[in-house]
């Protein structure tokens, strides 16, 4: 069992398959990275991902989510997905949705039932501005394709002040006929993403926007949930808010992360990383490293800052950019 010093049991692993992405969302993928930044990345190979994941699973991990960068741009993504599907875990994926149609059969073969798709705007032009690519209609079509094939679909929306908060009610309106869960994510600080507290549209502000148009009720919450879930009256789908910045949910955290270069992070905001891939390649036992990394987890937000209400000074946060961690 992977337990930390605050008695939190960890059963959820997020694995980044690649630090590359076909989109250019600046809150995730900084434009001002030095040339050749990616060159030193030594990726875990498919059999290494499988071996490392197996050790996590033998020690209590019951859910693995694949992420990135964009996991589906990796050429051997299907091979990795199918290898991991042999493990006794619930397998899920977070994607920008652009290549989903090419992977539908792989998802089915791998027993993936839950797909999180990122979409920050329902307006094609605005989505192009945010992502740097003209992909909006393809992503919406792929969400429909997933629903038609009975996948559970969650739509991730990073809400940023003066960027897309005016679409909150449109996203909730989308849940009237579609059985999706729209998840509004507060904008978080990572290396190079020019975060500032005044760009965060908080949990409270999101609910105030929803209040303007809908009556809704809260759905049951479990300790490990990162999202507080709601349902507007009479809607088929639901909406949820991930309030990392205004109301962190660290006390119930059950998550661990593995970057594409095989470093383990015990928190999205952890300063320290443990080189699991390096140890595996040297033929060392990786379990003691994993257990120690879990034990060392800080109580909240990687020990690096406080909630946005305390106006954190993010200049001192030591972390990668989101695209290099794996969201």
Contacting residues toward ligand SAM, per CB under 6 A: 21, 27-28, 67-68, 70, 94-96, 118, 156, 158, 185, 187-188, 190, 193, 322, 327
For ligand SAM, the closer CB: 118 or 164: 118
Q: Give the dihedral sign, CA 306/308/311/313.
A: positive
31 and 24 in contact (C-beta within 8 Å)?
yes
For ligand SAM, the closer CB: 4 or 263: 263
Q: Which residue is nearest to ligand SAM (CB)?
A: 327
For ligand SAM, the closer CB: 27 or 56: 27
For ligand SAM, the closer CB: 286 or 312: 312
For ligand SAM, the closer CB: 115 or 280: 115
Cβ at position 26, least distance to ligand SAM in Å? 9
3-state SS of the chain: helix, strand, coil percent to 5?
35, 20, 45
Cβ at position 5, least distance to ligand SAM in Å? 27
What tokens were used for 82?
A: 């199918």
245 and 204 in contact (C-beta within 8 Å)?
no
Cβ at position 18, least distance to ligand SAM in Å? 9
Cβ at position 324, least distance to ligand SAM in Å? 9
Q: What are phi and psi of 67, to 5 degrees?
A: -150, -160
Cβ at position 59, least distance to ligand SAM in Å? 25
Cβ at position 120, least distance to ligand SAM in Å? 7
Cβ at position 188, least distance to ligand SAM in Å? 4
The number of beta carbons lying within 10 Å of the beta carbon of residue 236 is 12
For ligand SAM, the closer CB: 158 or 289: 158
> What gap in Å lies between CA 95 and CA 18, rounded to an integer?
12
Cβ at position 291, least distance to ligand SAM in Å? 27
For ligand SAM, the closer CB: 187 or 216: 187
38 and 68 in contact (C-beta within 8 Å)?
no
Q: What are phi and psi of 16, to 5 degrees?
A: -90, 125
Cβ at position 321, least distance to ligand SAM in Å? 8
> What gap in Å lies between CA 13 and CA 34, rounded to an integer?
30
Return all residues near 101 (Cβ < 8 A) that are at least 6 apart.
141, 142, 145
**Surface-to-core class of residue 24, CB atoms within 10 Å of its CB (0-12 exposed, 13-18 middle, 19+ buried):** middle
Q: To the nearest 10°, the Cα dihedral for 191, 192, 197, 202?
A: -80
Q: To the nearest 10°, the Cα dihedral for 313, 314, 317, 319?
A: 170
For ligand SAM, the closer CB: 11 or 193: 193
For ligand SAM, the closer CB: 154 or 209: 154
């Amino acid at each position: 069992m992977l337990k930390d010093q605050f008695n939190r049991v960890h059963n959820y692993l997020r694995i980044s398959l690649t630090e590359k992405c076909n989109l250019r969302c600046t809150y995730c993928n900084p434009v001002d990275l030095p040339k050749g930044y990616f060159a030193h990345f030594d990726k875990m190979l498919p059999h290494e991902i499988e071996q490392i994941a197996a050790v996590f699973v033998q020690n209590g991990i019951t859910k693995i989510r694949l992420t990135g960068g964009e996991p589906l741009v990796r050429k051997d993504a299907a091979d990795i997905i199918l290898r991991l599907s042999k493990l006794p875990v619930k397998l899920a994926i977070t994607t920008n949705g652009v290549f989903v149609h090419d992977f539908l059969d792989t998802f089915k073969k791998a027993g993936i039932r839950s797909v999180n798709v990122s979409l920050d705007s329902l307006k094609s032009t605005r989505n192009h501005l945010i992502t740097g690519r003209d992909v909006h209609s393809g992503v919406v079509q792929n969400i429909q394709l997933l629903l038609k094939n009975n996948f559970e679909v969650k739509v991730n929306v990073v809400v940023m002040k003066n960027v897309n908060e005016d679409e909150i009610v449109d996203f909730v309106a989308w849940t009237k006929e579609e059985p999706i869960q729209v998840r509004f994510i507060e904008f978080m600080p990572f290396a190079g993403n020019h975060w500032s507290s005044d760009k965060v549209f908080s949990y409270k502000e999101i609910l105030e926007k929803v209040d303007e148009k809908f009556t809704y009720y809260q759905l049951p919450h479990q300790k490990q949930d990162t999202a507080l879930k709601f349902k507007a009256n009479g809607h088929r789908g639901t909406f949820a808010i991930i309030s990392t910045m205004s109301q962190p949910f660290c006390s119930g955290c059950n998550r661990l992360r593995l970057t594409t270069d095989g470093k383990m992070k015990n928190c999205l905001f952890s300063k320290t990383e443990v080189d699991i891939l390096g140890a595996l390649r040297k033929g060392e036992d990786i379990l003691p490293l994993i257990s120690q990394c879990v034990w060392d987890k800080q109580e909240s937000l990687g020990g690096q800052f406080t909630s946005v209400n305390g106006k954190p000074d993010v200049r001192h946060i030591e972390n990668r950019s989101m695209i290099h961690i794996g969201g």
